[in-house]
Amino acid sequence: MLDANMKQQLQGLLTNLREPIELVSSLGDDAKSAELAALLDDIAALSDKVSVTRTDDNARRPSFLIRRASDANVAVRFAGIPLGHEFTSLVLALLQVGGHPPKVSAEVLEQVAALDGDFHFETYFSLSCQNCPDIVQALNLMSVVNPRITHTAIDGGLFQAEVEERKIMAVPTIFLNGQNFGQGRMELEQILAKLDSGAEAKAAEKIAAKDAFDVLVVGGGPAGAAAAIYAARKGIRTGIAAERFGGQVLDTMAIENFISVQHTEGPKLVAQLESHVKDYDVDIMNLQRAEKLVPAKAEGGLHEIVLANGASLKARTVILSTGARWRQLGVPGEDAYRNKGVAYCPHCDGPLYKGKRVAVIGGGNSGVEAAIDLAGIVAHVTLIEYDSQPRADAVLQRKLASLPTVKIITSALTTEVLGDGEKVTGLAYKDRNSDELHQVELEGIFVQIGLVPNTEWLKDSVTLSRHGEVEVDHRGETSQRGIFAAGDCTTVPYKQIVIAMGEGSKAALSAFDYMIRLPVGAEAEAA
């Protein structure tokens, strides 16, 4: 199952095992069970602290338990074969069950251990989902730390009947004690906040006690990360408050235009960005959503950022790098059937639509790439494009046109998402040339129509364009002195990772230049 390179890497990692572990399998007579058996044998052959046992005592087959030999309560379970994006989850589970300490703060570990109650989690993932590993790894860690927490990670593509029965149409989907707990990407701290009612109040109290920053970056995408690094390198007090560090890059599958790196993936790049930021003295405040910006009353005074949890942060300069999010269709039925057939990430949710009919809305690069990818999984793809022809790169259009299971409909305005009350059954669109109304029967709709900036909370604080973007000058400064902006939330054209990083760097340098040119005593006078 594992190639020579993977075996070599894993063998080196398994030297970190402090306790013997057991791989306890439940297998059937199918090909996937045979694959899993081979994988477990490969792992066991790499360390004398790993043993394999087959018990067939679990209803889900193929599945296996990673169990500490000295304490059966320390265990995690995978239903399926955790390769692809989940291979890292498998490796971490092996190490953590084997006693290797997780790279999580002592404060968080104490919070997990202190949770009072019995929590039985099930997570449905797909091997192509870049958001799923974070959930799987977080819940695996929790089950290792707290014996009253259990977790089973389930490959939705392998257990299709179960997915259908539970009406799962998006991954990751989490069940707690048999009830739906949540969908979509979540950090460990977010899960804890949902389980521990006092967690948010504690976080707010901690943030409220912080001293004012010289530079406060709001948003943790490429622009925010670059801004934080450049500011910290100047030796000034720097903080970064982000709803989720990495931003939209976390939802990006393949990145092939990041100069000097031929190929990478969004979560991998974000991990590298975060590691780089942590090399400097930057106060990272994750899972913090900004709700209001209060500019300083006078030149050199402190700006204030009010957070959703009620706490406030103050800073001499602010860099806004809140990025953008997927644009919605804004038609009847879209909200009602979100995650019930309406999806925004073809890489994550595509495997759940195997053998089904889907539509992709949008003929730009993202839409056409999604249609190409889905064509290899689903029964049929209908591409709906508003314009008279798709706008994607020519090479992508040629590839799309060559696929026999794809139909392209142009000059089409989507008017409604149709459903039966539980799931999507089709969509309605209007032919823009004839005004005729049409319906397409299908089971899934993937929306790929661009981005909208995350700037609604700034409309009373800085000048926004008619598209909602923060207006900036050539230095990245907004309409408010001492407040800068960078990345996809601004009027700078061409929303690209490398451009966002450059703009973030420029904004940080501009903020530093602004501060050193303030008149002596200006801050004291403004206060």
pLDDT in tens, the chain (527 residues): 788 999 999 999 999 999 999 999 999 999 999 999 999 999 999 999 999 999 999 999 999 999 999 999 999 999 999 998 899 999 999 999 999 999 898 989 999 999 999 999 999 999 988 889 999 999 999 999 999 999 999 999 999 999 999 989 889 999 999 999 998 888 898 899 899 877 778 888 889 899 999 999 999 999 999 999 999 999 999 999 999 999 989 888 778 889 999 999 898 999 999 999 999 999 999 989 999 999 999 999 999 999 999 999 999 999 999 999 989 999 999 999 999 999 988 888 898 899 999 999 999 999 999 999 999 999 999 999 999 999 999 999 999 999 999 999 999 999 999 999 999 999 999 999 999 999 999 999 999 998 899 999 999 999 999 999 999 999 999 999 999 999 999 999 989 999 999 999 999 999 999 999 998 766 555 55
Single residue among 418, 449, 480 that ends a domain in this structure = 449
Q: Are residues 185 and 320 in the same domain?
A: no
The answer as to whether 333 is a domain residue is no
Q: Are residues 156 and 297 in the same domain?
A: no
Three-class HEC string of 139-169: HHHHHHHCCCEEEEEEECCCCHHHHHHCCCC
The answer as to whether 217 is a domain residue is yes
Q: Which two tokens stand for residue 104?
A: 């999580």
The answer as to whether 97 is a domain residue is yes
Single residue among 161, 196, 231 that ends a domain in this structure = 196
β-strand pairing of 119-125 with 213-218: unpaired
Single residue among 196, 220, 251 that ends a domain in this structure = 196
Domains: count for the chain: 3
What's the pTM?
Answer: 0.82
β-strand pairing of 179-183 with 282-286: unpaired
Q: Are residues 411 and 309 in the same domain?
A: no
Q: Which two tokens stand for residue 99?
A: 């006693």
Q: Are residues 227 and 184 in the same domain?
A: no
Three-class HEC string of 238-282: EEEEECCCCHHHHHCCEECCECCECCEEHHHHHHHHHHHHHCCCE
Q: Are residues 53 and 133 in the same domain?
A: yes
Quick one: which H or E segment has residue 36?
helix 31-44
Range of the domain at 349: 342-449
The conformation of residue 101, written as its DSSP 8-state character, comes to: P
- To which residue do tokens 């894993």 refer? 10
CATH of residue 471's domain is 3.50.50.60
